[in-house]
């Protein structure tokens, strides 16, 4: 029997899950477990490339885990783990750093953006972040990497690193592909609908979080930026705000865009916006309730993390050993 293909993704534990990350990504992940062997890492080591408050970071990791499980990622069918619990990530990252070029890292748009935004802390970890991400992916011989469009460049660099390494040492790594879902891949900010919804913009009300209260969600949608027309028509270029709302409503309800346009024919934004808000509230309600319940079950979450790290380690160590052998590291004598 051919073994299942492998999926791996990493989730930053900084900031909560957003409507954008849910609709654009996580919602589609639960169904993948039938067909693929899925690994999801909460990437605490990537998180510290920006300064983190230790207590918050600790809390966020449990919250993220609870939210992922509540989003349908069953912990038996998926391997859910914390990156730093599997030391092979740090170990392989060092090796891959030595096969990743300064010029390649300098061209990463995420590095350029992040260092422009925070010139107080342009640390070496931020620069070599993609080598650690490559290690995350290559350790599990991942075939597919579900990510947002902004991460495509990192997955492509991972391929380049793997290809280079394989060229020297033979077939060690599987070359991964980015897996970018078409539907709802780009949910836009409610206040600045030309920009992707991002948790770094929570403050201005443009970003809706999975754990937001129903009141907050409805308020955010009522305040959503639209345009000076009144008709509910899908036209992302001249009506980015309304089109984003149509897209969100369509994904939440399973209705097509044309159906949504028809449903609101002759109605204005004042009718449309609260209905979209309510659809999001109802979509999130069971997830939020489940996540809230899980967050208080610390022993259960610890069990998930324990078995996740054990399972992930088995695969990761196999790849790391092979790499060490190929590059000429000596095995530690028993």
Q: Give the Cβ contact number of residue 233 at 10 Å.
A: 16
Q: What angle do CA 92, 97, 101 make, to 5 degrees?
A: 150
Strand order in the sheet with 177-179: 78-82, 36-42, 5-11, 144-146, 177-179
What are the Cα distances from residue 267, in Å, to 188, 207, 243, 247, 309?
23, 25, 15, 17, 52
Output the smallest distance, CB 286 to ligand TRP, in A.
25
Output the smallest distance, CB 186 to ligand TRP, in A.
14
Taking the least distance from each CB to ligand TRP, the nearer of 162 and 246 is 162
Taking the least distance from each CB to ligand TRP, the nearer of 155 and 276 is 155
φ/ψ of 236, rounded to 5, equals: -55, -25
Concerning whether 112 is annotated as a catalytic residue, the answer is no
Output the smallest distance, CB 305 to ligand TRP, in A.
17
Concerning whether 196 is annotated as a catalytic residue, the answer is yes
Question: What span, in angstroms and rounded, lies between the C-alpha atoms of 9 and 143?
Answer: 11
Q: Which of 5, 152, 199, 222 is catalytic?
A: 199
Output the smallest distance, CB 147 to ligand TRP, in A.
5
Taking the least distance from each CB to ligand TRP, the nearer of 43 and 252 is 43
Q: Which of 4, 76, 195, 196 is catalytic?
A: 196
Residue ranges in contact with ligand TRP by CB under 6 A: 8-10, 12, 43, 46, 133, 136-137, 145, 147, 151, 154
Taking the least distance from each CB to ligand TRP, the nearer of 8 and 208 is 8
Catalytic positions, written as ranges: 114, 196, 199
């Amino acid at each position: 029997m051919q073994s299942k293909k492998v999926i791996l993704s990493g989730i930053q534990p900084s900031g909560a899950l957003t409507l954008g990350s849910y609709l654009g990504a996580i919602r589609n992940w639960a169904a993948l477990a039938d067909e693929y062997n899925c690994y999801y890492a909460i990437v605490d080591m990537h998180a510290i490339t920006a300064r983190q408050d230790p207590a918050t970071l600790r809390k966020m990791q449990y919250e993220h885990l609870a939210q992922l499980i509540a989003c349908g990622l069953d912990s038996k069918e998926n391997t859910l783990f914390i990156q730093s619990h599997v030391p092979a990530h740090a170990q392989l990252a060092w090796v891959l750093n030595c096969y990743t070029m300064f010029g390649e890292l300098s061209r990463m748009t995420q590095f350029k953006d992040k260092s422009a935004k925070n010139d107080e802390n342009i640390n070496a970890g931020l620069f070599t972040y993609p080598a650690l991400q490559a290690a995350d992916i290559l350790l599990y011989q991942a075939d597919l990497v579900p990510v947002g469009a902004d991460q495509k460049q990192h997955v492509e660099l991972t391929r380049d690193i793997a290809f280079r390494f394989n060229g020297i040492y033979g077939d060690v790594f599987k070359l991964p592909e980015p897996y970018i879902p078409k539907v709802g891949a780009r949910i836009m900010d409610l206040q600045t609908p030309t920009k992707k919804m991002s948790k770094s913009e929570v403050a201005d009300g443009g970003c809706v979080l999975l754990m937001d209260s129903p009141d907050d969600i409805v308020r955010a949608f009522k305040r959503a930026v639209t345009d000076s027309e009144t008709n509910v028509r899908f036209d992302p270029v001249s009506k980015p705000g309304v089109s984003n709302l149509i897209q969100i409503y369509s994904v939440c309800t399973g209705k097509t865009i044309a159906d949504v346009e028809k449903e609101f024919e002759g109605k204005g934004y004042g009718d449309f916006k609260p209905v979209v808000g309510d659809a999001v509230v109802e979509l999130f309600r069971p997830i939020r309730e489940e996540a809230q319940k899980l967050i208080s079950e610390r022993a259960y979450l610890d069990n998930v993390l324990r078995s996740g790290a054990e399972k992930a380690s088995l695969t990761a160590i196999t790849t790391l050993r092979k790499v060490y052998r190929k590059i000429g590291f000596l095995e530690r004598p028993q």
